[in-house]
Amino acid sequence: MGLMACRYCGQIIDLDFSADSESDAIEYATLKCECDEAQKYQTRISYFERAKKAIEEEFTEDYLKALLLATVQHVYDGKIYGITLKVDGENTVKISQDSKGNIFVTKLFSTGSKIQL
């Protein structure tokens, strides 16, 4: 049991368990808080959990999964609009975003599959 403040608004949240460390406790408090910034953070976390799962289902190479997920995070944050990666002579993988903000990972040439994140 423990009390910890939300990282964004400082509201004290009652955790229903003991966290391993203060930084873990802050993380859990922030994940439970209902302030606007905490909710944006929660949305972001769950988005990337889904994106990671989708990427892991579609790709097998660890370096590629890590690179794609990192890129998707930058696209989500508006730092990168998209990339085209030429991979190992066979695949070209494209990450793009449509006007509604949906992010897509597209495999070109091989299977031609396209996943929406």
Output 40 or 74, the one with its CB closest to Zn ion.
40
Buried b (16+ CB within 10 A) or exposed e, 61-98: eeebeebbbebbbebbeeeeeeeeeeeeeebebebebe
Q: Which residues contact Zn ion (rule: CB under 5 A)?
A: 6, 8-9, 11, 33, 35, 38
> Considering the complex, what minimum distance in angstroms separates the CB of residue 46 from Zn ion?
16
Output 9 or 66, the one with its CB closest to Zn ion.
9
> Quick check: helix, strand or coil at residue 96?
strand
> Considering the complex, what minimum distance in angstroms separates the CB of residue 42 from Zn ion?
10
